[in-house]
């Protein structure tokens, strides 16, 4: 379900992304901060599964409270949780029900991405999944090299207006700027990138020029113009067809750029400028002049296009080096665009993790119920008091199917009972069905799959966070002693 978050700047966010919600909340309590740190660690490492980290850690602590009230000692609870987690690790490896054999195959990737995208944008996964798979495959290195995806190379350009179905993928970089020059497009051109402005350089020392008559004034202006023209002519004569400026462009400089028939676009963001440097293989220069062979870059195509009334610049590279792809998202509101971007981000991170470990387990609470059942059986065979903690760990795993059934308007206890019954009869891939007629269904056939590496990491981080909190018996705050505050 979505949450309506109002941050400290009174900005309203409507999202179900746990990482975004935690990022916008100002968590003060030190124990709660540990859970937030675990979730942010999961987000940094794998980019998905933050919801499971926070929810499962919270459930573990909730079950620990009940056990502490009944008289169990913290050390017994910690020991029981550790044993249960070891069993969970072994049993989870046995649950793998699907493996992607080739991450360069669009159909295979689209099939497994549907669950990841559907978790954020339910109803649009059929449309968004092929786009994300295509964008990721554009930035993958050529066949002899090992397939990997760098999320930095898959960009998102948000254009308000239209509907989601008008979103497209572009093989290149999209810049939301207008072209400054008369030349609006260039194919197969040499690129010069200037970190400084394209204008007449000002002197370092202050000076006074005494002008006696109109001729002297005209000549003074002419000499400045000639110096600027010489610099731009030198750039044009070096074979440069495209100029990208990281600073301001004077009208006089613009006149000379048009005179020598070059393409010019201004980039205001230094991060965007760095990205263009990576994409074109150029180095940003701090002086205005002809670039050397090391400083110049190359672009297959750069030109201005119009999408939904917004004019954008598309930079495309056909060769393997500096590959970059952009997903152009269309929606009616900024909130919707932000939420779509988060869904795309999760999909790209899933592709990245898939290149490391392509194994999948059944989703929709199927793997959690299977683990809970195995851990409960293990708990019954343990003689000590830690068996209560082991069973508490198994009960905490039920939070996923319980939440899914409650969100879809079903009776949680009935659905969980049905799941246990199905798993006991050997159907280990049965999970919660949220669409009519509801109940339970085989999720491996439906393609509702969770990435093994994401789920494993989420269980590990939530367990470590819960144990760290359980091991704390006192919170000692270092605060200043009394007396007035220093001025």
- The vertex-376 CA angle with 371 and 377, nearest 5°, equals 100
Q: Tokens 């220093």 belong to which residue?
A: 486
The 10s digit of each residue's pLDDT in 186-201 is 888 888 888 877 777 6
Q: What are 189's strand-pairing partners? A: 299
CATH number of 173-322: 3.50.7.10
R_g of the chain, CA atoms, integer Å: 29
pLDDT at 479 over 80: no
Which CATH architecture best describes the domain 3-98+361-470?
Orthogonal Bundle (1.10)
User: How much is the mean pLDDT over the chain?
Assistant: 83
Global pTM reads 0.79
User: What Cα–Cα distance (Å) separates residue 295 from each residue in 68, 175, 233, 275?
Assistant: 66, 22, 17, 15
From 20-34, 276-290, 309-323, 329-343, the region with the lowest mean pLDDT: 309-323
| The pLDDT value given to residue 201 | 67
Residues 141-174: tens digit of each pLDDT = 777 677 777 878 888 888 888 888 888 888 888 8
**pLDDT exceeds 70 at position 74:** yes
Ordered by start, the domain boundaries in the chain are 3-98+361-470, 173-322
When pLDDT is cut at 50, 70 and 90, the band that residue 202 belongs to is low
- pLDDT > 90 fraction of the chain, expressed in percent and rounded: 0
Domains 3-98+361-470 and 173-322 equal at CATH topology level: no
First to last CA, the chain: 48
Three-state secondary structure of the chain: CCEEEECCCCCEEEECCHHHHHHHCCCCCHHHHHHHHHHHHHHHHCCCCHHHHHHHHHHHHHHHHHHHHCCCCHHHHHHHHHHHHHHHHHHHHHCCCEECCCCCCHHHHHHHHHHHHHHHCCCCHHHHHHHHHHHHHHHCCCCCCCCCCCHHHEEEEEEECCCHHHCEEECCEEECCCECCCCCEEEEEEEEEECCCECCCCCCCCCCCCCCCHHHHHHHHHHHHHHHHHHHHHHHHCCEEEEEECCCECHHHHHHHHHCCCEEEECCCHHHHHHHHHHHCCCCECCCCCCCCCCCEEEEEEEEEEECCEEEEEEECCCCCCCCEEEEEEECCHHHHHHHHHHHHHHHHHHHHHHHCCEEEECCCHHHHHHHHHHHHHHHCCCCCHHHHHHHHHHHHCHHHHHHHHHCCCCHHHHHHHHHHHHHCCCCCEEECCCCCCCEEEHHHHCCEEEHHHHHHHHHHHHHHHHHHHCCCCCCCCCCCCCCCCC
Write out pLDDT tens, residues 240-262: 888 888 878 888 888 888 888 88
Q: CB count, 10 Å around CB of 163?
A: 10
Give the model confidence (pLDDT) of 389-405 as tens digits: 888 888 888 888 888 88
For the beta carbon of residue 95, count every other beta carbon within 10 angstroms: 20
């Amino acid at each position: 379900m979505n949450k309506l978050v109002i941050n400290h700047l009174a900005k309203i966010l409507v999202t179900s992304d746990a990482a975004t919600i935690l990022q916008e909340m100002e968590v003060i309590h030190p124990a709660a901060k540990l859970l937030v740190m675990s979730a942010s660690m999961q987000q940094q490492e794998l980019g998905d599964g933050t919801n499971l980290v926070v929810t499962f850690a919270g459930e573990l602590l909730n079950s620990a409270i009940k056990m502490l009230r009944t008289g169990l000692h913290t050390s017994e609870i910690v020991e029981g949780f550790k044993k249960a987690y070891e069993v969970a690790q072994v049993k989870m490896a046995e649950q793998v029900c699907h493996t992607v054999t080739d991450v360069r195959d669009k159909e295979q990737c689209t099939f497994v991405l549907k669950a990841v995208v559907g978790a954020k944008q339910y109803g649009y996964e059929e449309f968004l999944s092929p786009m994300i798979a295509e964008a990721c495959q554009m930035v993958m290195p050529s066949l002899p090299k090992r397939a990997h995806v760098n999320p930095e190379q898959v960009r998102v350009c948000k254009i308000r207006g239209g509907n989601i179905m008008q979103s497209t993928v572009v093989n290149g970089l999209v810049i939301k700027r207008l072209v400054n020059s008369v030349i609006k497009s260039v194919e197969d051109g040499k690129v010069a990138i200037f970190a400084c402005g394209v204008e007449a350089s000002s002197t370092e020392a202050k000076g006074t020029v005494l002008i006696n008559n109109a001729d002297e004034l005209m000549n003074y202006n002419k000499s400045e113009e000639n110096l600027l023209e010489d610099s731009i002519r030198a750039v044009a004569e070096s074979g440069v067809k495209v100029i990208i400026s990281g600073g301001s462009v004077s009208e006089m400089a613009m006149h000379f750029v048009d005179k020598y028939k070059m393409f010019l676009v201004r980039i205001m963001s230094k991060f965007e400028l760095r990205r263009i440097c990576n994409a074109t293989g150029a180095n940003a220069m701090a002086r205005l002049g002809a670039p050397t062979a090391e400083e110049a870059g190359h672009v297959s195509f750069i030109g201005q296009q119009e999408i939904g009334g917004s004019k954008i610049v598309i930079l495309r590279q056909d060769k393997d080096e500096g590959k970059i792809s952009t997903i152009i998202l269309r929606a009616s509101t900024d909130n919707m665009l932000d939420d779509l971007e988060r869904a795309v981000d999760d999909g790209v991170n899933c592709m990245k993790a898939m290149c490391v470990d392509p194994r999948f387990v059944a989703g929709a609470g199927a793997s959690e119920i299977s683990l809970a059942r195995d851990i409960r059986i293990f708990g019954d065979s343990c003689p000590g008091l830690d068996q209560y903690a082991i069973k508490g760990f198994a009960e905490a795993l039920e939070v996923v199917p319980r939440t899914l059934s409650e969100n879809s308007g079903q009776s949680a206890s009935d659905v969980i009972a049905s799941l246990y019954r199905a798993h006991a009869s050997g159907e280990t891939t049965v999970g919660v069905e949220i669409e009519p007629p509801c109940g339970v269904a085989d999720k491996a056939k439906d393609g509702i799959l969770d990435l093994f590496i994401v789920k494993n990491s989420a269980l590990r981080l939530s367990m470590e966070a819960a144990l760290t909190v359980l091991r704390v018996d006192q919170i000692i705050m270092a605060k200043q002693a009394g007396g007035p505050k220093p001025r």
